[in-house]
Amino acid sequence: MVWATWRQHRGEAIAVTVVGLVLAAAVVITGVQMHSAYDAQGVGGCLVVTQPASCEGVVGAYQQQFQLYIGMYQWLNLLPLALGIFVGAPLVAREVERATHLLVWTQGVTRTRWIVTKVALLGAAAVMAGTAYTLLLTWWRQPLDMIAGSGLAPDAFDLEGVVPLGYFLAALSMGIAAGTLLRRTVPAMGVAIAGFLALRFGTIAVLRPHFMAPLSASASIGAAPPPSSRGAWILEDTLRDPAGNAFNGRFAFDQLCASSSGSKNGLDTCLQQHGIVESLTYQPADRFWPFQLIELGLFLGVSVALIALSVWWVRRRIS
Q: Residue 319 pLDDT more than 90?
A: no
Q: Per DSSP, what are the bridge partners of residue 238?
A: 279
Q: Per DSSP, what are the bridge partners of residue 220?
A: 277
Q: How far apart are the first and last CA of the chain?
A: 19
The pLDDT score that the predictor gives to residue 259 is 63
pTM over 0.85: yes
Q: Are strands 233-240 and 215-220 parallel, antiparallel or unpaired?
A: unpaired
Distance CA 123, CA 163 (A): 15
Average of pLDDT values for 238-265? 68
The pLDDT score that the predictor gives to residue 99 is 76
The pLDDT score that the predictor gives to residue 5 is 60
The pLDDT score that the predictor gives to residue 181 is 94
Cross-sheet strand order for the sheet of 233-240: 215-220, 277-283, 233-240
CA angle 206, 208, 210 (to 5 degrees): 80
pLDDT tens track for 103-153: 677 777 788 888 898 899 888 988 888 899 899 999 999 999 999 888 898
Distance CA 304, CA 262 (A): 59
Distance CA 58, CA 67 (A): 14
Distance CA 168, CA 132 (A): 12
Distance CA 106, CA 113 (A): 13
Distance CA 121, CA 117 (A): 6
What count of other Cβ atoms lies within 10 Å of the Cβ of residue 112?
A: 12
Phi/psi for 57 (5° steps) reads: 80, 0
Residue 237 CA from chain centroid, whole number: 22
Handedness of CA 136, 234, 71, 81 (dihedral sign): positive
Dihedral (C-alpha) 280, 286, 292, 295: value to the nearest 10 degrees?
-40
Distance CA 163, CA 160 (A): 7
pLDDT tens track for 29-61: 999 999 999 999 989 888 876 677 778 788 889
Band (pLDDT 50/70/90 cuts) for residue 193 is: very high
Phi/psi for 274 (5° steps) reads: -95, 10
**What are the residue boundaries of the structural domains of the chain, listed by start?**
2-212
Do the beta carbons of residue 181 and residue 195 sit within 8 Å?
no
The pLDDT score that the predictor gives to residue 254 is 64
Which residues touch 105 (CB under 8 Å, ≥6 apart)?
Answer: 111, 114
Average of pLDDT values for 193-208? 96
The pLDDT score that the predictor gives to residue 170 is 96
Do the beta carbons of residue 124 and residue 9 sit within 8 Å?
no
